[in-house]
Chains A and B, each alone.
Chain A
Amino acid sequence: MITVNEAIQVPYPRRLVWSLLSVPETVVGLVEGAELIEEHEDGTYDGAITIQFGPLKVMFRAHVLLKLDDTDMVGEIHAQGKDKQASTRFNTNMNFKVEKHADPSTSLISANAEVEIKGRLAKVVETGAKLVVKRLVTSFTERLTARCEAVQRSETAV
């Protein structure tokens, strides 16, 4: 099991940050290599994510459940997926939270992820897998910051 805990400050108000994280399409867009394929009636999604392990890129199909709590500004992503040959499977649980900061123009985003990789890929990546997951989480927060900046810029322009 790979566990990654990240906490970052973003120089944008909590409400703005949450407005982005509460839209599934936006959340998926913040995950490097991810795409949304189909939304189901039960609120789950089919998606795909291409992850680069060293020079090797592997595409996984995934079934995703996204739970959002607007009141507490807390989200959960549960995803299960497998590669094209079904030789590698992964199971992910990620929690993220947009928290208050002493400065109201700033938010604190915490993201905790647990990823389990089973099957053939696990042998290829060994300890490298943890770094890949950490990279994904870091990239998620960086993309979120950039997106906040873009939204604020457009709002200011209006």
Chain B
Amino acid sequence: MRLINRVAQALVAEGVTDVFGMMGHSTKYLYHALHQEGVNLIDVRHEGFAMYMADGYARSTGRIGVCSSVEGPGLAQFATPLLTASRARSPVIALVSECAVTDTENVHRMDQARFVEACESSYLSVPNAAMVDDVVREAFIRARRESRPIVLSVRDDLQTEEVDGDEPYVPSTAIMPGRQRIRPDADSVNLAADIIAQSRKPVIIAGRGAILSGAEDAVLKLSNRIGALIGTSLRGRNFLADAEYQVGISGLYGTRTSFQLFEEADCVIAIGATMNRYTTSEGLAFANARIVHIDTTPQITVGAGRKTDCFLNADARAGIEALEQELASRSVQNVGFHTPEVRAQLAANYDDPRSFDIAPGEVDPREVCRMLNDIVPGDIPLATAGGAAGGFTHTLLKRRRPFVLSGHYFGTTGQMLPVALGASIANGKKPMLLLDGDAGMMMVINDFDTAVRYNIPVLGIVLNDQALGIEYQMMVAHELEEDLATVPSPDMGAIAVAMGGRGRLARSVEDVRSAVEEWLANPGPMIVDVRISRNVLPIPMARMLYAEDV
């Protein structure tokens, strides 16, 4: 058996069913071997797109996403996606080739290990035929343990070497212990309970850790006991979105009501949230609150280096359940924020009274978001990009959904189309709603062709202001030449059609609604290019640039 066939066997034994990539001459054996093993190969037009798809696969499931590229220039195309996946803490394995040691004049030669390390990822190379099982297994162990990309390389000259392959490959899952919930220390639970019992106005901030640990019921129970408002980080957005006292995202994408209510907080219970600078408004929010922090990763500070008052090193659900039990044993019960007055405030939580002049043929992006939030059913997952579009979508698409992916990792433009496609494939080609800006979509639109070839049912709504939205608004505020930030774009709906998918150019909310209804009736790859008005300033920009109290 060839070594590369053993690698393919090992991948299948590790549970790999899909590999995203672009074949190169030195990965031809790998592709052939994977095909023989029944692996679903998804061919892309740009190697970076494959890495993003694997990232989306991992982000939406927690399973390892796998992608592939040729050595040298192919691997170099992974640079930004590697950093993005690393920041997203996505377990991803990238299979790459590597020039033979003796092939010193190969134009593809580069120091791959150093490159990968610089991209905040790890590099493992199969050193010889005897080590192939060990190195593949280590790659899977480390991807899970470190929760970041591992680039696994097989040198050209090793790929066709013969290996025995007479023993079954032992997958990493047979060696690694199963997932265990970290239980909190009893003394720390007591201290946290002391702080919470003294609180009159507690707030819970749930992050991605709360979602991943399945802490919904536990958080709701605690919230009801102590009268806590439930806010989220951006990564935890839409968590318990239908709960009565859920106030949305804390910090940068927070509503005005959330700022007003959080100002009263005397205790913050952060659950599986890093409480970074965005969630805490540079550490300036919750100025009068004591902080109880529950996380699996030891964190002694929150945004701006502020010390936590009590840290519980625990799984989110296990930590909350322990706290709830302790508070119940003390008969702690508090009304807190759970009052008719707060309910009345929350009824208008997402209102935005600002009005703007909208030119004919342009649309208010807020109306598009509200309409999408209403008509796209809650069983359809959501992916939203950052940038100016994120200023609308992160806040207004607030419905509870199976999962919600936000494209803020590494601040990378153009990550969300491939992430959404990878997430759809990971979930059995589940229909996905994607919202992106024009710059993000145009950066990767060549690979919409991949969505068409594999009939991946992603609806891409482009909030197209024909500009680099954030930069445009900054140029205006700084009294610079704002036209420098405008970039006209072609009709992306027409591009989608030309690629064999469906598409529309929308110049009214009704245009968008009709396209979405068509997609809902028959999901498939589709782009709706919505021409939005640049006059509508995203709320985070209105605050930052004009200090508007909105």
The answer to whether B287 and A58 touch across the interface, beta carbons within 8 angstroms, is yes
Q: B284: which of A124, A127, A129, A131 is its contact (CB, 8 Å)? A: A124
The answer to whether B283 and A129 touch across the interface, beta carbons within 8 angstroms, is no
B478 proximal to A (CB < 8 A): yes
The answer to whether B256 and A88 touch across the interface, beta carbons within 8 angstroms, is no
Least Cβ distance of B441 to chain A in Å? 27
Q: B283: which of A57, A85, A132 is its contact (CB, 8 Å)? A: A85
Interface size counted on chain A using CB atoms at 8 A: 25
B243 proximal to A (CB < 8 A): no
Tell me whether A85 and B477 are in contact in the complex, defined as CB-CB below 8 angstroms, given that A55-B543, A120-B283, A126-B544 are known contacts: no
The answer to whether A54 and B304 touch across the interface, beta carbons within 8 angstroms, is no
Q: Which residues of A contact B522 (CB under 8 A)?
A: none
Complex CA gap A59/B284 in Å reads 9
B263 proximal to A (CB < 8 A): yes
B260 proximal to A (CB < 8 A): yes
The answer to whether B304 and A120 touch across the interface, beta carbons within 8 angstroms, is yes
B357 proximal to A (CB < 8 A): no
Complex CA gap A59/B263 in Å reads 11
Q: Which of B284, B543, B546 gathers the greatest number of chain A CB atoms within 10 Å?
A: B284
Q: Which of B254, B282, B306, B545 gathers the greatest number of chain A CB atoms within 10 Å?
A: B282
Q: Which residues of B contact A135 (CB under 8 A)?
A: 547
B259 proximal to A (CB < 8 A): yes
Q: Which residues of A contact B283 (CB under 8 A)?
A: 85, 87, 120
Q: B550: which of A55, A84, A87 is its contact (CB, 8 Å)? A: A55
The answer to whether B306 and A85 touch across the interface, beta carbons within 8 angstroms, is yes
A56 proximal to B (CB < 8 A): yes
Least Cβ distance of A72 to chain B in Å? 34
Tell me whether A121 and B282 are in contact in the complex, defined as CB-CB below 8 angstroms, given that A58-B287, A85-B304 are known contacts: yes
Which residues in chain A, 53-79, are within 8 Å of chain B measured between CB atoms? 53-59
The answer to whether B284 and A88 touch across the interface, beta carbons within 8 angstroms, is yes
Instruction: Flag B266-281 by CB within 8 Å of A: 1 or 0 each.
Output: 0000000000010001
B548 proximal to A (CB < 8 A): yes
B549 proximal to A (CB < 8 A): yes
B305 proximal to A (CB < 8 A): yes
Which residues in chain B, 461-483, are within 8 Å of chain A measured between CB atoms? 474, 477-478
The answer to whether A126 and B477 touch across the interface, beta carbons within 8 angstroms, is yes
A: which residues have CB within 8 A of B?
52-59, 83-85, 87-88, 120-121, 123-129, 131-132, 135
B: which residues have CB within 8 A of A?
254, 256, 259-260, 263, 277, 281-285, 287, 304-306, 474, 477-478, 542-550
- Cβ-closest 3 pairs across A and B: A128-B547, A54-B543, A55-B259
Query: Apart from A55-B549, A131-B547, what 7 extra A-B contacts exist at CB < 8 Å?
Result: A54-B549, A87-B304, A120-B304, A121-B282, A126-B477, A126-B545, A129-B547
